[in-house]
Amino acid sequence: MSLLDETIAAVAPRDPAAERAARERLDRMTKPPGSLGVLEDVAAQLAGTAGACPPPLPVPAAVAVFAGDHGVHAQGVTLWPQEVTAQMVANFAAGGAVVNAFAAQLGADVVVVDVGVAAPSGPAPGLWDRNVRRGTADLAEGPAMTPDEARRAVEVGIEVATALAADHGCLVTGDMGITNTTASAALVCAFTGAAPAEATGRGTGVDDPTLARKVAVVERALARLDGERDPLTVLAEVGGLEHAALAGFVLGAAAARVPVVLDGVIAGSAALVAAALCPPALEHALAGHVSAEPGHALALRHLGLRPLLGLDLRLGEGTGALLASPLVASAARALADVATFDSAGVTEKA
């Protein structure tokens, strides 16, 4: 059996008994019932994922920034040169990016995974060289990668999640890839049925003519897909290597029963692939935020995930998900630490 098949077979749904115990405890805690709002759902979900109430605290967090390049760059769908992907990989490894600043503030670890960068990256601490191919082919003209490459990139994500889950309580998705919002839009359309004009946005901030080219490219890619539904085929046709690895990362976290916090539209579109491959995997995922890229909200709605934050971020790198990780940890901490009406001698409402 392949690592992908083994991982899918290892994913179980959340434990309903642990989740029920969490809901009961939340109602006995010294607070009005339901007053922690969405964080009560988060706490119960964490108990269901761990199969224990209270669940272990989801700390420390580790963000894995999966980096890849895209042949569709040739279509003029972004204003940034492709080499910025490799340059940002070096910046992450040197600790100089926004994700590094947020991780330092929050006590999280950062690993950078080259799964598909066009230019070879030199060795650096915290940089994992798992390059499957040096950038995808142009998804406007033909398949972005072969099904075998897609599977190998998914398995990179599984491998990274499995390794990080050994000594982290919370996994956080990150990405870097100039042009990857075009591939994200195509994946969102393929899996949700959304129209390209609805799902395609300005990415890093493209102008009107570039946005129009982007929509046309997504339309062409979808026409070629012709309603194809097989998740790995769709991924190989219109996805990116970092999308593939992120889908594997979600599956690997679920198999390890560790919560995974999703970042923006790249993670959201990759999660659509993971959900199509293995629906119960998404029971262990949380949406850290909703990004400004329109395809992201469409993906989250399709997945039934409610974002924890809405800050109009559109950076990627895992930044929005990292900012949400203390909320996730606080929900677990409250479930573990807060006294009950009985234990604290607080009178309940009439």
Residue 186 interacting with ligand NCN (CB under 6 A): no
Facing residues of 29 across strands?
340
Out of 15, 149, 155, 293, which residue is the one contacting ligand NCN (CB under 6 A)? 293
Query: What sign does the dihedral 247-253-257-263 (CA atoms) show?
Result: negative
The entry of ligand DMD, ligand NCN, none near residue 55 (CB within 5 to 8 angstroms by kind) is none
**Sole window of 37-45, 151-159, 201-209, 298-306 interacting with ligand NCN (rule: CB under 6 A):** 201-209
Active site residue 283: no
Q: With respect to ligand NCN, which residue has the nearer C-beta, 169 or 294? A: 294
Out of 175, 237, 277, 329, which residue is the one contacting ligand NCN (CB under 6 A)? 175
Out of 10, 59, 106, 315, which residue is the one contacting ligand DMD (CB under 6 A)? 315
Out of 41, 59, 141, 204, which residue is the one contacting ligand DMD (CB under 6 A)? 204
Q: Which residues of 223-235 are buried (b: 16+ CB within 10 A; e: fewer)?
A: ebbeeeeebbebb
Angle between helix axes 319-337 and 98-106 (nearest 10 degrees) is 10
Q: With respect to ligand DMD, which residue has the nearer C-beta, 12 or 119? A: 119
- The C-alpha atoms of residue 213 and residue 126 are separated, in whole angstroms, by 36
- The C-alpha atoms of residue 250 and residue 320 are separated, in whole angstroms, by 17
Residue 90 interacting with ligand DMD (CB under 6 A): no
Residue 317 interacting with ligand DMD (CB under 6 A): yes
Query: Are β-strands 127-129 and 61-68 bridged in parallel, bridged antiparallel, or unpaired?
Result: unpaired
**Sole window of 28-36, 103-111, 132-140, 315-323 interacting with ligand DMD (rule: CB under 6 A):** 315-323
Residue 21 interacting with ligand NCN (CB under 6 A): no
Residue 91 interacting with ligand NCN (CB under 6 A): no
- Spell out, one character per residue from 149 to 178, where the chain touches ligand DMD: x when CB under 6 A holds, - when not: ---------------------------x--
The entry of ligand NCN, ligand DMD, none near residue 265 (CB within 5 to 8 angstroms by kind) is ligand NCN
Residue 211 contacts residue 200 (beta carbons within 8 Å): yes
Residue 266 contacts residue 246 (beta carbons within 8 Å): yes
Backbone angles phi, psi at 171, to 5 degrees: -105, 140
Q: List, by residue number, the catalytic residues.
A: 317
Residues lying near ligand DMD in the complex (CB under 6 A) are found at 80, 84, 88, 176, 204, 315-317
